[in-house]
Structure 1
Amino acid sequence: MANQPPSLSSIQQRVWEGKLPLEIVLAPSECRTYDQADPYIISYPRVSYLPFLLPRIHAFFSSSLIEPNTQPHEGWFSFEGVPLKWHYPVGLLYDIYSGADPASKSSGGEHHHPSHSISVSRKDGEPHDDDDEVREPIPWRLTVHFSDWPDEDLVRLDPDGIVMHDAFINSVKEADFLRNGNAKGIMSLSKEDSSGLWKAVQEHDLPSYQRITNILLPPPSQPFRNVPIRIFLPLPPSSSESPSIKVVQSPLPPSIPTTTSTTTSSSTARISSPSMHPQTIGSVLHSLLPNLFPSRRTPILAKPVLHGAVVPMSAPIEEVVRSSAYCDGWAAIVICMMG
């Protein structure tokens, strides 16, 4: 019996099970001990956000802080000197900045079934099935700071978490608008469900999250109007600047027209007629980044990575978002160069 592709709900569960080992150290300039404090080590969900860790990390390093009166919400994270945007999930940040090398178990190009969405590791370093994976240097070593907030790079947080909540809900609204052509779904949620969505993200509660997002998502029989996908393209640093990220975003319908030819019965003339066909990751990348993706079917110069796994070029974009979007409803695909 042939192996069946995993269901969209089982892929979503695997996505939420994915964790990333983190080793967090206190910035040396803020540490009162000469030989540095012990690092804070944790296995953390890829779909979650770094600021949720700040109360625990602040308590952990409190005895080592030169300025003990700092507050948890004053904390921010950096990787190799680059401030990390707190409104990006930690898995996305890792895929952008870690320099992970996409690797394929298979050779000879794309071989996945067209209806097969992406597949991810149950935990970093342990891929399942025969899908492409990403080799990941772990644990990921980050630095936490509680002073010298980088105002040019990051919006400041507040003690009540309102800034972070509002940023998340605005992103959810934007995704909802693209899916439905309006934001009535998120706007019509009850107060209980609206606060429950954010609480489910904070507590990493998949059943509660699924219950509420099922209210927002159109049923499978009703296609999205547009598919919420953001493409992150790391750019090489110039001689005087740190690495930067280009974010590519465009309205993406789930189906695109193709032309088929038919022969009339009275003559040999061929008549071309348009037909609709699911838009894939490959067709999106070829359209938006043609220089990096000259082929719609085979990654030649770069590979698309989501949740630490290489996404099949043949994966329909709506299936990818339904099964593998981050908590705000967006699929965030990072472009990794090959070779």
Structure 2
Amino acid sequence: MSVVFDDIISKKIWDGKLPIQISLNPSESHSLTEPIFIEAARCSYLPLVTEHLASIYNGLGIDLTNTDVWYDYQGEPLKWHYPVGLLYDLSGSKDRPWRITVHFQDFPNDILLKSPSVEAAQDIFMAMVKQADFLRHGTTKRVMNLSKNDQSQLWESLSLDRFDEYWNVNQHLIADSDSLRYVPLRIYLSNQCPVIQEVVSFTNEGNPKVLGDVLKDILPDLFPSKSATPMTHGIRLPLDTPIRWASQNLSFPDNFLHVVICNEDS
């Protein structure tokens, strides 16, 4: 059974923005004392935010050359290789703007991946795209058959906020077929729990699976529950959402469906 790609929903997700207030770490002495306010795409990454802010920092005498810039929320370092919107949902914050702190010193090598550059973010993004392709089809042939220009365009169109250019390429990777194998799915819990990435099929004995089926199989102690709610892109997902439709239409640009489990009692 094929699933119709909903370009209206995908465009709304792509256009999702998050207002952010970025303050300097008080222990670092710089001439800039007032916070900077920006609007970042939920699908973007912190190294791209840093690149956007570089001219401001450089103009204030803060040289970012050979500097590993990192951010925290309420003292917790933010994983720069995660999409911004995913980081916000994981933080549990309801603040708008989201108040985070930028650091230019004392990079937490024991917590974050090293070298938070745009190039490193691109490499990890493409590795995720390939992994998603392998899970869906059992091979990375669709990605590897793209030209080098098309592979580069996936990241460049994301970094430049060019929806149409991105989908001109990505449509070849997620084109629906009857030979789909597994859902590119990652599940996130609170309290720094490890990311859950298990093999999840699109159907159960030929019948379409819904999100509730998947969560009950993976997290039987939490689902079904009135307090635990799945979320992606800041949207609370009904448990009867077909997993194939969700994967096709609600995945991030890396083609993974990133689902955060929120505790409604907190």
The TM-score with structure 2 as length reference comes to 0.92
* Counterpart among 158, 161, 176 of residue 204 in structure 1: 161
* Counterpart among 143, 148, 157 of residue 186 in structure 1: 143
Three-state SS of the structure 1 residue aligned to 2:85 is helix
Matches within 5 A, 1:189-338: 189-219=146-176, 221-222=177-178, 224-235=180-191, 244-257=192-205, 276-293=206-223, 295=224, 299-338=225-264
Matches within 5 A, 1:1-339: 8-33=6-31, 37-62=33-58, 68-71=62-65, 74-99=68-93, 136-157=94-115, 161-219=118-176, 221-222=177-178, 224-235=180-191, 244-257=192-205, 276-293=206-223, 295=224, 299-339=225-265
Three-state SS of the structure 2 residue aligned to 1:246 is coil
The residue that corresponds to 1:241 in the other structure is none
1:74/1:147 contact within 8 Å kept: yes
Instruction: For 2:180 and 2:41, locate their aligned partners in 1 and report how far apart those are by CA, in whole Å.
Output: 28
- Shift of residue 178 of structure 1? 0.4
The residue that corresponds to 1:103 in the other structure is none
Paired residue type of 1:22: I
- Shift of residue 158 of structure 1? 6.5
Instruction: For 2:138 and 2:57, locate their aligned partners in 1 and report how far apart those are by CA, in whole Å.
Output: 47
Paired residue type of 1:20: L
Three-state SS of the structure 2 residue aligned to 1:334 is strand
- Shift of residue 63 of structure 1? 5.5
- Shift of residue 43 of structure 1? 1.5
Three-state SS of the structure 2 residue aligned to 1:95 is helix
Instruction: For 2:5 and 2:168, locate their aligned partners in 1 and report how far apart those are by CA, in whole Å.
Output: 17
**CA offsets per residue over residues 269-326 of structure 1, 9 Å max, x none?**
xxxxxxx211111001100001110x3xxx4230001100101101111111111101
Three-state SS of the structure 1 residue aligned to 2:48 is helix
Which ranges of structure 2 fall in alignment gaps of 5 or more residues? Answer: none
The residue that corresponds to 1:265 in the other structure is none
**CA offsets per residue over residues 104-127 of structure 1, 9 Å max, x none?**
xxxxxxxxxxxxxxxxxxxxxxxx
% of aligned pairs identical? 35
- Shift of residue 69 of structure 1? 3.8
Instruction: For 2:187 and 2:168, locate their aligned partners in 1 and report how far apart those are by CA, in whole Å.
Output: 27
Instruction: For 1:80 and 1:170, locate their aligned partners in 2 and report how far apart those are by CA, in whole Å.
Output: 30
Aligned residue pairs, count: 262
Higher percent of residues as strand: 1
**CA offsets per residue over residues 187-245 of structure 1, 9 Å max, x none?**
111011011111111112110111111111133x435211111000012xxxxxxxx13
Higher percent of residues as helix: 2
Aligned-CA RMSD value: 1.9
The TM-score with structure 1 as length reference comes to 0.73
1:227/1:254 contact within 8 Å kept: yes
1:55/1:72 contact within 8 Å kept: no
Paired residue type of 1:335: I
Which ranges of structure 1 fall in alignment gaps of 5 or more residues? Answer: 1-5, 100-135, 236-243, 258-275
